[in-house]
Amino acid sequence: MPRPPHCRVVGRLPGADYFKPRGIPLSELEEVALGMDEFEAMRLADLEGMYQEQAAERMNVSRQTFGRIIESARRKVAEALVEGKALRIEGGAFEMRPTRTFACARCGHDCQVPQGTERPPECPACHSKDLHRAPEERGRGGGGAGGGCRGRGCHASPERT
C-alpha cells in the first residue's frame, strides 16, 4: 500500500472549479478530476513560467514529485479538451499559504497581506508604489522540498469517483 501524499502548498485557489464543453448538458458528459496540487503545478509552470525546480520549492515537494504532478495534470487537461469531457478541479491534500509577502523595490521593506486580499497600494515604510512579490514567493529560495503537512491548514479532501 502506498503511503499517503504529503500536503502540497497551494498559493491560489482556482477562479472556477468546473469547465465543460459548451452546448452539452453536464449530465451527458464524462468528467476528469484535476487535483488542487495539479492545478497549482500548471499555474506555476505554465502560467507563471517557473522552472520545475522553482515550482517544486513553492509547492514544498521534490523536483521529481513536481514532475510527476505536472505530467499528470497536463495529461488530464489534454484528455478533457481532446475527448470533450468536463474538467472538475478539487481534492487532494494541500495547504494554503496564509499570507502573501511583497517587497519594496525602493527601500527593501517587506509587508505581508492575508491570502485573498488585494496587493498593498504602496509601501508602508517609504510610500513607494514599486512593490513586487517577495523573491521567496517567486520560487527563488525558502521553503525547500519535502516536509509534508505540518498539521495546520491542511485541506485533505477525498477524491470523488
What are the pLDDT digits (tens) for 24-76? 999 999 999 999 999 999 999 999 899 999 999 988 899 999 999 999 999 99
Q: Model pTM greater than 0.85?
A: no
Top-confidence residue, 139 or 134: 134
User: What is the rounded average pLDDT of the residues 120-142?
Assistant: 74
What fold does the segment set 98-139 form as a domain? Rubrerythrin, domain 2 (2.20.28)
Instruction: Tell me what pLDDT residue 151 has.
Output: 43
To which H or E segment does residue 99 belong? Answer: strand 99-104
Judge whether 106 and 132 are in contact, CB under 8 Å.
Answer: no
Instruction: Tell me what pLDDT residue 48 has.
Output: 87
Average pLDDT of every residue of the chain: 81
Judge whether 108 and 76 are in contact, CB under 8 Å.
Answer: no
pLDDT cut 90: percent of the chain above it = 42
Cell matching residue 161: 469517483
Q: What are the structural domain ranges in the chain?
A: 1-97, 98-139
